[in-house]
Amino acid sequence: MLRRGIGRLAWWAWSRVGNWAAIGPRSSKARAFREFGDGSAICFPVVALFGERYIRVGTGTIVGPYSSLSAGVSPEHILDVETIVSIGDRCLIGKGSGIVGHQSVVIGNDVFTGHNVYITDANHGYIDIEQSIGKQFSPPDPVTIGDGSWLGHGAIVLPGSNIGKHVVIGAGAVVTGDIPDFSVAVGNPAQVVRRYFPDQGWVKVDSV
């Protein structure tokens, strides 16, 4: 009886902490963002969060717990543009996901993701063999994800990727380039396997 009581109390306390610690549009932490829309929330706990003044969150958007959201290479990084990371309206970013922007990551409206999705416009370089790779950076390359798209569990979107609108990216896929509107892409690197054409409907790519 005592153990069950303690368990219920622990669950109640954790849920309360989650609600109180979430970042919402009226919380003091939301004021640090470039924009933070009504009805949006970044759930507690947050793994990493910095560069808020370069991050825009639209209305009705939820970022799941244990996620990372950052603009720039460190909290002290001063950038020369107003918005580095832009997440549209009514989006759902899954638990444990990471969005890292150094130049431009634009996520459209109504974009949903599964858990543990990683989206970045930046990568490490490998020019100086005397210096650790972790301290070398390649030039960032903008990323866009169109309205209404869905990214499955564990998908990775790398620099220079341009995902169209109403696109499905399969679980575990690695996106490295352009994915056209109204398509389904899977694999590493992600390849389009189906596309929708107004005059044909859904068509397998190998038969187009």
The β-bridge relationship of strands 174-175 and 156-157 is parallel
As a whole number of angstroms, the distance between CA 66 and CA 79 comes to: 26
- Assigned CATH class of 2-173: mainly beta
| Domain parsing of the chain, residue ranges | 2-173
Q: What is the pLDDT of residue 8?
A: 80
Q: Compute how many other C-beta atoms are within 10 angstroms of the C-beta atom of residue 177.
A: 11
**Catalytic: which of 77, 102, 115, 124?**
124
Tokens 């341009």 correspond to 162
Q: Compute how many other C-beta atoms are within 10 angstroms of the C-beta atom of residue 149.
A: 25
Q: What is the pLDDT of residue 188?
A: 95
Q: What is the pLDDT of residue 208?
A: 43
As a whole number of angstroms, the distance between CA 116 and CA 64 comes to: 10
Q: What is the pLDDT of residue 207?
A: 42
Say if residues 205 and 194 touch (Cβ distance below 8 Å).
yes
Q: What is the pLDDT of residue 206?
A: 74
List the chain pLDDT tens, one digit each, 208 residues.
777 777 787 777 677 766 778 999 999 999 999 999 999 999 999 999 999 999 999 999 999 999 999 999 888 888 888 999 999 999 999 999 999 999 999 999 999 999 999 999 999 989 999 999 988 988 999 999 999 999 999 999 999 999 999 999 999 999 999 999 999 999 999 999 999 999 999 999 874 4
Q: Which of 61, 77, 64 is nearest to 111 (CA)?
A: 61
As a whole number of angstroms, the distance between CA 162 and CA 176 comes to: 8
As a whole number of angstroms, the distance between CA 93 and CA 20 comes to: 20
166 given a catalytic annotation:
no
